[in-house]
Structure formats: structure tokens, C-alpha cells
Structure 1
Amino acid sequence: MKIRCALPDESEQLSSLALRSKKTWGYDDTFMEQCCRELTLSTDYIASSQVYVMEEKGEVLGFYGLSGKGLEGSLDFLFIEPSQMNCGYGKKLWLHAVKKAAELNFQYILIDSDPNAKGFYLAMGAKFKGEVSSKSIPGRFLPLFCFTIGR
């Protein structure tokens, strides 16, 4: 297994993975259509952000996207292929993202999380900070977490 930089031409593949992964929470098709734009990685995003893919024998297991400036990082994406969930890959990607954030001199990472992933981010040491409005669905609120980078 290795973690490598994503390539801009992987935008469609990673976007599809994000949608498949999100759907595992039991969301219906209408909900997923509303989230589609927010879960789409553009080639520009991949080229301008820190996007990393975890793969084994050429098979993509998951990915994350990290962006930000100054002291503040933002974990924009962290998704695992549904058939690979509960294998520890999310934690491995998270630890890689934290290491990358430290290399970028971020002091903290903000995470707008799906409510179903709340337990994961708490287990990873992030602190619940409140709620933010969904960018996809008016009137829906998402948990906001903050992870302080250890020095």
C-alpha cells in the first residue's frame, strides 16, 4: 500500500469514489444529487491543493484533499472505497493528512464533516466546535471540527 499525489486526470475517478462512499450512509438519490457538485474534485482543485491517493496494486482504496493558507488548513475530502471501509485506511489517510498539514506549517485543520463521520474525527483527536451550513442543502447543518497540529 502506498500514498501518492493525485493526478489531475483522476478527478472523475476520485469524484465517483466520493459519491459511492457518501452513499454508504444510506442517503437517497435526491440527497446524493444535491451533494454531487460539492463532492466533485476538479482538475484545478487537484492541481492547486494537496490531494493524496492511497492505492495498493494499482487499486485506489481512498483519498483525501487538504487546502488552506497561513495557519489554517481545511480537510476538504477524506473518502474510502466502500469495499475497503473498516480496514484502518481512513486512519492511515488521516495521519498522512496531519503530517502533510504540519509540513505546510498549518497550526490547525478545520473539518466540515458528514454527521455520520463525527465519531471518526473525535477518535482522531479533533474537537467539536459547532455547526456550519451545508454548501449543498439549504437548512442542513454539518458538524465542524478543529484539529490542532502537535508541534
Structure 2
Amino acid sequence: MEIRPARPEEAGLLTGIALRSKAYWGYDEAFMAACRAELSVDAGVIEGSATVVAEDAGRLLGFVSVSGAPPTGSLDLLFVEPEAIGRGVGRALFERARGLAAELGLRRLTIDSDPNAEPFYLAMGATRVGSVPSGSIPGRELPQLVLDPAAP
């Protein structure tokens, strides 16, 4: 598996990964329709953030996007193809996100997490600090976590 910078022309592929990854958790069609805009990736997202993909034999398995300005930033998107979940792709992308944060001079990353992904982020060293409203579903709260990218 190779981790490399995302290309703007891959935006549609990344949107597909994000939608399939989110649906992995069993959300219904109405929920997924409500999330579609928030999960859509366009060339501007790729060009305006540090976005990398995990690729194996020419197939994209997942991606992560980090944005911000020193000293704080955010881990905006981290999604893995459902069939690659549990194979270390998410971990590899998360570790690359730590590196991206360091390269950008970020000392703190905020993560607004899907509730199902929170255990992963906690296992990776993030700490829950509260919750934030969902950008897609009125009345839904999402765990908010923070990470010191330099921490082991």
C-alpha cells in the first residue's frame, strides 16, 4: 500500500469512498441523503487542504484530509473503503495525518467524529473534549476530540 497526495481529478472517487464508508455503519437512505453534501469532496477540498490517499495496485482504499493554520487545525475527513476496514488502512492514514499536521506546524488537531468512529480515534490517542452539532442532521450531536499530533 502506498500513501500519496490526492489529485483534484480524484474528487469523485473520494466522495464515493466517503459515502460507502459512512454507509458501512448501517445508516438508512434518508440519513445518507442528508449527509451527501457534507461528505462530498471536490477539487477545492483537495487543493485547499493536505489530502492524501491510500492506494494499492492502482485502487484507492481510503483518504484523509487535514487543514488549518498553526497552531491549530482539524482532521476533516478520514474514510476507508468498507472492504478495507480492519486491514490497517485507517491506521496508516491516521499516522500520515499526524505527519501532515507536523509539516503544517499544527500542534493540535480537532476531530468531529461519527459516533461509530470515536473508539478508533480514542485508540489512536485522541481525547474527547465534548460534542458538536452535526452539519447534516438537525438535533444530532457528534463527539468532538482533540489530538496532539506530536504525542505518541
Q: TM-score, normalised by structure 2?
A: 0.97
User: Which residue in 2 is equivalent to 1:120?
Assistant: 120
Q: C-alpha distance in 2, partners of 1:34/1:150?
A: 35
Return 66-75 or 23-32, whichever deviates more. 66-75
1:103 positional shift: 1.1
Measure the CA separation in 1 of the matches of 2:142 and 2:13: 25
CA distance in 2, matches of 1:11, 1:83: 20
- Alignment partner, residue 2 of structure 2: 2
Q: Which runs of 5+ in 1 are unaligned?
A: none
Q: 1:38 aligns to what SS in structure 2? A: helix
Q: What is the one-letter code of the residue matched to 2:149? A: I
Distance 1:132 1:124 in 2: 20
Cross-structure match for 2:134: 134
Per-residue CA distance 1:123-147 (angstroms, 9 max, x = gap): 0000000000001111110000000
> Which residue in 2 is equivalent to 1:58?
58
**1:91-150, Cα deviation, whole Å (9 max, x unpaired):** 110000001101111001100000001100000000000000001111110000000122
Letter in 2 for 1:64: V
What secondary structure does 1:37 align onto? helix
TM-score of the superposition, structure 1-length normalised?
0.98
Identity of aligned residues (%): 47
- 1:70 Cα shift? 2.2
Which amino acid counterpart does residue 52 of structure 1 have in structure 2? V
Q: How large is the Cα RMSD of the aligned pairs?
A: 0.9
Equivalent in the alignment of 2:23: 23
